[in-house]
Amino acid sequence: MLVADIMTIHPVTVSMDTELLAIKEIFDHVYFHHLLVEDDVDKTLVGVISDRDLLSALSPYVQTAAETFRDKETLKKRAHQIMSRQIDAVLPTTDCKIAVQKMLDADVSCLPVVDEKRVILGIVTWKDFLKFYLKQQTLG
């Protein structure tokens, strides 16, 4: 089984200069936990932001009654300030066993799927592998 068989195509991406307010709004309205950060010019992968990265970057008082000006300012930070830069990625032709091992070795919950030039094609997460496993158990 190849990553291409189970990956999510057309993942949501943001640019390096996207403000955290916009990133927060995305995470507030979707069911997934990772955003891929792409270069504005060549659309290549430059980073990953998880919902946990966002939560740790924001003040806990943002959008509460106790919010101050300083808390509100954290929403103006940019994606490049909180994204993970040391990211492993896989090709669509990568065997799923290799991708799972990469995720376990790196202790990450997703892998971006890119082409040879690192242009973003999709994303594969631990949930994708679990869904595939359950499907195989049901069929098998």
**What CATH number has the domain bearing residue 33?**
3.10.580.10
Q: Residue 114's domain spans which residues?
A: 3-139
> Which of these, 100, 79, 85, 90, lies nearest to 121 by C-alpha position?
90
Amino acid sitting at position 71: D
d(CA 5, CA 129): 11
For 61-82, what is the mean pLDDT? Answer: 85
* Number of domains forming the structure of the chain: 1
State which amino acid sits at residue 81.
Q
- What is the spatial distance between Cα 66 and Cα 70, in angstroms, rounded to a whole number? 11
Report pTM: 0.89
91: left (phi over 0), alpha (psi -120 to 50) or beta: beta
Selected residue with higher pLDDT from 64 and 43: 43
